[in-house]
Structure 1
Amino acid sequence: MNKQSTVMAIDTSTATMAGAVLSGQQLLAQVQTEAERNHSIHIMTNIEAMLKEGGLKLTELDGIVTGIGPGSYTGVRIAVTAAKTLAWTTAKPLIGISSLAALAISGVMAEPKRGSALIIPIMDARRGQVYTAAFLVDDKENSSGQRLHKDHIVMMEQWCTDWSLKLDELKSQGIETVLIVGDVDKHEESIVTFQASAATHGIQVVSSSQPMNGRALAELGRGEWLAEERTFMKEAHELVPNYAQLTEAEVKQNAKEQGEGK
């Protein structure tokens, strides 16, 4: 897969269904719909609409890209299942991408260039928690960026505290900006506290509610950003979502097994 490939990308891990068809540097079609509870109803219609707008048949794609989470448990499965089905029926390459990575790059695309920047994507996980990760992007070096922290779930207050303790280190590395992108409105208090701490080190913390961008996902799938992030599947059925936490059923099963082991 290279920058001239034609790919279709889809993600339903958040309240936004994001999708795009990208051929070379030309964006042929894009979708960004807010319908968290209805992704399963609209996904195939949106896929058909993107292909029609792009003037392509499914068989003309070079590959299919999907966000694999973390995010909404039900939401993540919708795009993954659709992508696996389409890849299997057409024998097209299937590429899995971290939904948090796609959200991070969506923020980078939307915000003005800021030199060397730490990108922190967040998806609300309720009860003060967020799904999150961290990436470094340096536009001065035309870098595709690199991952600094794995996808995981954490209390937002603790996550901001952790980064506050690393401000000296970030400054020494030439980090000028921290961009927090995603569900920022739900965690404003923690972000404001972090902004104040960062300001004392000459680091600007910018928050952006930029939603998932389908083009970001497509470019990630082609390796234009965070090239090491891509997961190529030899067989479509091998792709599994990344929930970044145990499901409720798994939690109950673990508790049951622990009780039986006493």
Structure 2
Amino acid sequence: MKVLAIDTSNEVLGVGLVSESKVIGEYITNIKKNHSVRVMPAIQQLLKDCETDTGELDKIVVAKGPGSYTGVRIGVTIAKTMAWSLGIPLSGVSSLAVLAMTGSYFPGYISPLFDARRGLIYTGLYQFKESKLQVVMEDRNILATEWAELLKDQTVPILFNGNDVPLHEQTFRSALKDQAFFSHVGEYNPRPGELGLLGLYLPPEDIHSFTPNYIRLVEAEAKWLERQGKKP
């Protein structure tokens, strides 16, 4: 089985090609450029270099969020379009779970995070058990200070990873002291190969109803709900 993995959910653009037994190829960049004009050429180049035709793909796996609203939409839209046009299944994987995979060596809990501005972060809590990634606390949108207080109740070391960790590192160091650990910069980027492996055997989504997982509403939607007297 050959799986194409697509991640445009954050600033990192990642495209990977995997099979049951190996990561065949990966394309990763971490630059501030428009994913919408770069992701399809990246896919085409990766498939060309790996001597793989789109007709040989058996599945599409996409990072479904949370992350950048625009970035998540781009990846999900392209993944849905390709899966539908090729007549192959589609699976979505948490963008935070993909990032957590870079901490597979760590003996404690893993808290991958993306900055969500105004002191907020997207994060969750994961661990590796019997070589498999497991969820300890579900993905959420939360103040970094509040997350740090929640984690103080845990009794194991916690690894923070992701490109936005430096923005909140002092918060976690102050609250958690020796309980807090931080990934090396070389491990900040989520790997599209890991995304493909995570989604390899996940059940397929309904392509037409599959939507991104934003976790929180965009500001315009939240304000509209407030005007309607509803809670966002």
Query: Normalising by the residue count of structure 1, what TM-score does the alignment of the two structures yield?
Result: 0.81
Q: 1:23 aligns with which of 19, 29, 41?
A: 19
Alignment check: 8 A CA contact 2:17 2:26 kept? yes
Alignment check: 8 A CA contact 1:31 1:50 kept? yes
Distance across 1 between alignment mates of 2:80 and 2:174? 42
Alignment check: 8 A CA contact 1:17 1:36 kept? no
Residue 149 of structure 1 is matched in structure 2 by: 137
1:205 and 2:181 are equivalent in the alignment: yes
* Structure 1 unmatched runs, 5+: 224-229
Higher helix proportion, which one? Answer: 1
Deviations 1:58-89 (A, max 9, x none): 11111100000000000000110000000000
Deviation, structure 1 residue 208: 4.2
1:186 and 2:167 are equivalent in the alignment: yes
Q: 2:125 aligns with which of 134, 137, 150?
A: 134
Mapping 1:244-255, distance limit 5 Å: 244-255=215-226
Q: Please tell me whether Structure 1 or Structure 2 has the larger radius of gyration of its CA atoms.
A: 1
Distance across 1 between alignment mates of 2:44 and 2:197? 20
Deviation, structure 1 residue 23: 2.0
Structure 1's 68 and 146: CA in aligned 2 closer, same or farther, altered over 3 A?
same
1:232 and 2:220 are equivalent in the alignment: no
Residue 146 of structure 2 is matched in structure 1 by: 158
Structure 1's 158 and 52: CA in aligned 2 closer, same or farther, altered over 3 A?
same
SS in 2 for 1:145: strand
1:220 and 2:198 are equivalent in the alignment: yes
Distance across 2 between alignment mates of 1:129 and 1:17? 22
Distance across 2 between alignment mates of 1:144 and 1:246? 31
Mapping 1:7-18, distance limit 5 Å: 7-18=3-14
Aligned residues: CA RMSD: 1.7
Structure 1's 77 and 36: CA in aligned 2 closer, same or farther, altered over 3 A?
farther
Alignment check: 8 A CA contact 1:19 1:31 kept? yes
Alignment check: 8 A CA contact 1:14 1:36 kept? no
Structure 1's 190 and 239: CA in aligned 2 closer, same or farther, altered over 3 A?
same
What is the identity, as a one-letter code, of the residue corresponding to 1:31? Y
Query: Normalising by the residue count of structure 2, what TM-score does the alignment of the two structures yield?
Result: 0.91
Alignment check: 8 A CA contact 2:106 2:159 kept? no
Distance across 2 between alignment mates of 1:35 and 1:84? 25
